[in-house]
A = this chain, B = another copy of it.
């Protein structure tokens, strides 16, 4: 399994429009520090799954036939806006799996074009090519699924954004399932008030502590989180890293198969 973080930003992205904080100024000066809408590509063998579709240049990134499926976490625009353009293409249909959101986003369901929407049920595993995905309920302002993704040799990756904390059943599932790699919502730096809709770093670290994966990549990062990191340098812990756009994780450490 190979995971590429195509986008690691929150809804506002980095740089945030109109903001001159150190993180936004750095991102304007150096493209490598920019954060686009939160999206990941998961590949195994000939199977290529895009998790979320907030990038607006999907038609340029993915030629027809290059994606096995798109899997969306939820229907907020920053996670599905790339579908608005893609849908009007011609050729083979693209399956789009997502949570059972009766609204979707704007007129996506009504005018689906070449997209084929499939509503998933929580904990109801599906197979897409060489990958198996189990939808895991998260805690967000719109019905949202994380995904437990396993390849044919047992590598296990959990993608968990957008969320604030984890519902008990999702936490139980993951403790039992033991993912090697976790991508985790960490939109905000440590906050004084209990955060709403998204993890802050405090909650993200608590989840990492609970699930004990070999590696945690923090994603859905805001400019505030980047600015906080500029003032609080150093490793969070050897197992916890802030992801950046275009980052490739080609070897997933797994607990189940330590011999690999």
A89 touches B59 (CB 8 A): no
User: Across the two chains, which residue of chain B brings its CB closest to A113?
Assistant: B12
Q: How far in angstroms is the closest Cβ of chain B from A110?
A: 10
Tell me whether A76 is interfacial, beta carbon within 8 Å: yes
In the bound complex, CA of A105 to CA of B81 (Å)? 12
Chain A interface secondary structure, helix, strand, loop or mixed? loop
The interface stretch among A13-21, A41-49, A204-212 is A13-21
In the bound complex, CA of A13 to CA of B60 (Å)? 12
Q: State which size class the interface on A falls in.
A: 20 to 34
10 contacts between A and B (CB under 8 A): A11-B88, A12-B85, A12-B89, A13-B88, A17-B85, A17-B90, A17-B91, A18-B114, A19-B89, A56-B81
Tell me whether A150 is interfacial, beta carbon within 8 Å: no
Q: How far in angstroms is the closest Cβ of chain B from A86?
A: 6
B106 touches A18 (CB 8 A): no
Q: Tell me the chain A residues, 83-133 only, with Cβ under 8 Å from chain B.
A: 84-86, 88-92, 105-107, 114
Tell me whether A78 is interfacial, beta carbon within 8 Å: yes
Q: Measuring CB to CB, which residues of chain A are less than 8 angstroms from any residue of chain B?
A: 11-13, 16-19, 56, 59, 64, 76-78, 81, 84-86, 88-92, 105-107, 114
- Known pairs A17-B59, A17-B88, A19-B90. 20 more at Cβ < 8 A? A11-B88, A12-B85, A12-B88, A13-B85, A13-B88, A16-B90, A17-B86, A17-B90, A18-B64, A18-B89, A18-B114, A19-B91, A56-B56, A77-B81, A77-B84, A77-B107, A78-B85, A81-B81, A105-B106, A106-B106
